[in-house]
Amino acid sequence: MISRFVVAAFVLITLMAPTTSLAAGYHFTDLGVLPGGIYSYGNSINATGAITGQGNLSNGDFRAYLYSGGPLVDLGTLGGNSSNATSINASGQIVGSSLTASNEQRAMLYSGGVMQNLGTFLGGETGFSSARAINDQGQIVGVSSTSSGQWHAFLYDNGNLTDLGTLSNDPNSDAVAINNNGQIVGISEQANFVQHAFLYDGGVMQNLGTLGGTSSIAAGINDSGEVVGSSRTATNAYHAFMYSGGVMHDLGTLGGISSFGYGINSLGQVVGQSAKITGSSGFVYTGGVMMDLEPMISNLPAGWHIVSAQSINDEGQITGWASKNDQIHAILLNPVVPEPSSIVLLGVGAVSLSAIGFSRMRKPSHGL
């Protein structure tokens, strides 16, 4: 399987339309943990601010959860001891994977309070499958083993299954995100573990290339078809990228060697994780600038560190996780909109005084 990868705000005068506003900072909410647990991870946030991810229980098992403004809700399993939720759409449908009573990994759909086993689409009941993402039309993408022992990206649409195949000469692939236009991104992998980011559109799988190195991985796509992910550079470091207009753009880092882009919204704001000169932090990338999230949070409790930002919705709300000592908690960051008094009118239009923020590889699956 594909390897897993575990990113001083300043004020910028930004020329913008009078109806547009950017966050001046963020308000931090600790989502807590499941009963008896000490870990939780925020994987996906939908248009209404509902969050899904994974947390642990007192016995060490991991469970998919839903956050909708109160305590985390354990979504259960398909009969096994662990589950993981990776994506939630605007209707609150959730996808991910779960172990069954026979300890097999299966793609799951959680809808209407019920977790459904989606099976192993491409290789019978002896392999594995995992659902990675769901769009607002209910189309699901993920990965499943095949009868030949490989694993392929799939699209599940209203009961109809499509094997997306792989890029030329690659035996394996994994679909990790889908937008509301049905465009899909993911990873195609060679036998020597060289990975290629792909865009699947109109029945064609396109290699998105790299930033000069050997490998790249796509992690998210917005409705404009802009793709975010990570790629090796010519110096063999991993950098977050945005693929737009047929070009892969290097988003840089927060001063360290590597960065990883995980989520993107319709405004082109990217979130992820980046190394700094010391340590690493979650970031947001917007307006051509990558910003460290921590300095932008006025109410960040003492001792907490923003480890990673995983998903951002069109309201600018962000989920990911933060750490303090041996604790890791899922988080919600709500953007703080500048007061009207901070908007200065010029002859050419409105200028908003705004703190610019934020920019999976495949997102970490924490065991599933």
CATH of the domain at 294: 2.130.10.150
Asked if the structure places residue 366 within a domain, the reply is no
pLDDT at position 351 is 26
Asked if the structure places residue 157 within a domain, the reply is yes
- With a pLDDT cut of 90, the percent of the chain lying above it is 77
Asked if the structure places residue 175 within a domain, the reply is yes
Q: What is the pLDDT of residues 298-337, one digit of tens each?
A: 999 999 999 999 999 999 999 999 999 989 999 999 999 8
351-360 average pLDDT score:
26
Q: Report CA dihedral (229, 172, 108, 39) to the nearest 10 degrees.
A: -50
Residue 135, φ and ψ in degrees, nearest 5: -100, 180
Asked if the structure places residue 84 within a domain, the reply is yes
Model pTM? Answer: 0.86
Asked if the structure places residue 363 within a domain, the reply is no
| Residue found by looking up tokens 């920019």 in the block | 359
Asked if the structure places residue 6 within a domain, the reply is no
Asked if the structure places residue 367 within a domain, the reply is no
Measured distance CA(224)–CA(207) in Å, rounded: 18
Question: How many structural domains compose the chain?
Answer: 1
Average pLDDT, the chain: 87
Q: Is the pLDDT of residue 265 over 70?
A: yes
Asked if the structure places residue 365 within a domain, the reply is no
Q: Which domain holds residue 219?
A: 11-355
